[in-house]
Chain A
């Protein structure tokens, strides 16, 4: 069959996006792998670096530490999030909307902010330090509490989805068979949510093991892998050893990723077209218990954020508690001053704009185009990769790849563009999946009809696909924006004096001992993200109604 103009265009666009992903992901990853088997002068030395790594007990001990905090955090977060999600989906308690909103707060702040908050709560001058009964907050205890805060919403979202798909018919059957509630829980609820829980567990595990902000701030002398990468690279400029630790760090993350993908595949089959959404019955005792539980968790989250807010306003903790805006004078501190805040906003806007275009276009070609099957499969596989790669490792890989003197793309190094590219790549997979889910809902008939009417595919794309997918497009944009504001790991190796970022400023101010200003900058990020989210909710409510009218019409 002769290839049509559409086919050539499709090939052209798939190649562009493919090339982008190769440059932004595959080549840098190759660079970091090869760096780990080279010496300082770039000569191949086999596994010598690995040998010296594994012969250093302090470094190897970090592997154990990392696994320890990741597994403990995973167990705690999943337990807490499961009960919370259970309350939101299976009870009829009051205030579900508010609880859900509060539970999402940690997504809006850089992870290390919770660590800073814990110092104010439980540090040597902390208001609740007695509660620790003599234990130190600096170390595994602090890391785990902060990581639970940071990972809670991520786990919650996945488990809510898993619990919501429980088939009501099964609950009816259980009721008719007079199954005890506890038995229903173990035979109906848990099996249907099983895969969601496993998936959430691996997501939490990966987030914790790759996070370095929290252990950096509150880990004290408790070393973990992610902090080792940072120390080797920033502290000692030992890039080869940084590469080695990175490769070690990729393994658990990659393993978690693979297991998660296998589990996700099984999840699909549970929800059939005949399933009925389960509506929980009123149960006063149960609802009250769940309400108390959710209030307790919400107070925990609000305390962490509230403490930061208060600490950022106190003039000189703990000796001068008058409120002032002294700590917001960022220009007198490390971290790049107010410029870094404006840079962050710019970076987040660029990331949201370009990221959404690239991701949505990429997902469109993967899902909707009718030609070049191999190209599409490769594209999809590459799109799934970033999830398995820790931000810190990606950032380091970018140094090796883009700062290489022979790379024609060398001019990107130290610019805003490289921050944007790295951030888009780091958060690519989740956005890609959001776009795919939305595109799958649109019947392929649209493409077939327009093709038989001899319309080029991009007309269908702009006239049908984009308007229908607007909610998903906005969702992706906001996801990019919020994460670009809060990410530290992906950008900490890549910012330059002209492109300081707010999230990195939080880290650097804490490093220099200016912890109150660090809290203040963290709160600026929170205000910004919260404002953007609110605006987003308003937009979806008002404007999107116009584009989405057809959805309601078909059901009425």
Chain B
């Protein structure tokens, strides 16, 4: 009998040891590119070694949906690097703990919440671009596109990939920028024609560019930073800045209401807009929230910054749900029987 009791307690202790406690660490939700996460956490830990960062990373739409779904039982302490439009939407839902981080006045006004105290602070911006694989284009005998309108040319039928705006922040900024550039009706009309050329919609915003880099698809609608990275790796791609202008989106931070680690979260929020942090973002992002910090980034296409449209975030944030629903109704079932 003793043996059995020993065995049971052994098993029980072993099992309990599997349940990790969560003390002394911050759960940070993010959509920042995976390869940068370690670098960001390490740079932060240089100044604050006692706060451990637990990343939960996914595409923008997924993180947004996750946060909304967890609204009543939040798992995150803080958001570091998620699309500004998503944050504006969540601010409306009352999901944030308003807090103006130290040094917020140094940020470009576009990059901070107008309210006092601020609910969110912007850190950097990513910009749409088209990755074109020159080797594959030559193989097919295609001419290079130079505008969004070019992408609807019949010759590209089945040769364009773009991110699904329901899951990808890049996909959403593309769609919302087209609606601003071409107007509401013109935008949907443009997408109808583009849809004919789309080979597939991807889950993540980086994938179209990575696929273009690997030659799986000749043309990938993605963002400039991803293209620059792939080019640096030796991919035969050209990063095209469409002449009508390109959409962009800021990445921003916010503290989740009801977090158990408010002090640590504030520390991170403060640190994330320091000059040191801005320089860290600048290694990959051409546009950062603090004016005067950004230096040109290698492999970025010239003229990209001038092509950035005057983005109406209010429009994008308020209409996000309706735009996504409309998009899904029109395009999300490429495999449906043609009736």
Contacts and interface: CB of A to CB of B under 8 A. Distances in A.
Contact of A497 (B1, B56, B206): B56
A354 B15 contact: yes
Contact of B65 (A236, A411, A420): A236
B11 interface: yes
A61 B337 CA distance: 8
Contact of B235 (A316, A331, A337, A417): A316
Give the interface centre of A317, A350, A511 by most chain B CB atoms within 10 Å. A511
Interface stretch (A21-29, A219-227, A269-277): A219-227
B68 interface: yes
A33 B252 CA distance: 38
A367 to B, nearest CB: 19
A235 B203 contact: yes
B175 to A, nearest CB: 16
A319 B231 CA distance: 12
Interface string A197-234: 00000000000000000000000111100000000001
B210 interface: yes
B81 to A, nearest CB: 14
A61 B18 CA distance: 42
A316 B20 contact: no
A511 B20 contact: no
A221 B34 contact: no
Give the interface centre of A221, A456, A512 by most chain B CB atoms within 10 Å. A512
Contacts of A337: 38
Interface string A106-126: 000000000000010001110
A226 B217 CA distance: 26
A498 B216 contact: no
Contacts of B3: 458, 462
A319 B215 contact: yes
Nearest to A331: B38
Chain A interface size band reads 35 or more
A282 B245 CA distance: 76
A137 to B, nearest CB: 11
Contacts of A334: 34, 57
A97 interface: no
A210 B167 CA distance: 23
Interface of B: 1, 3-4, 11, 14-15, 18-20, 27, 34-35, 38, 54-57, 61-62, 65-66, 68-69, 72-73, 75, 135-136, 166-167, 200-204, 206-211, 214-217, 233-236, 332-337
23 contacts: A57-B333, A57-B336, A61-B333, A61-B336, A124-B216, A125-B216, A138-B200, A221-B201, A221-B335, A223-B335, A234-B62, A319-B234, A405-B72, A420-B18, A462-B3, A497-B56, A511-B207, A512-B207, A513-B202, A513-B204, A513-B209, A513-B210, A515-B214
8 nearest interchain CB pairs? A513-B210, A513-B207, A237-B65, A58-B333, A221-B334, A237-B69, A334-B34, A417-B18
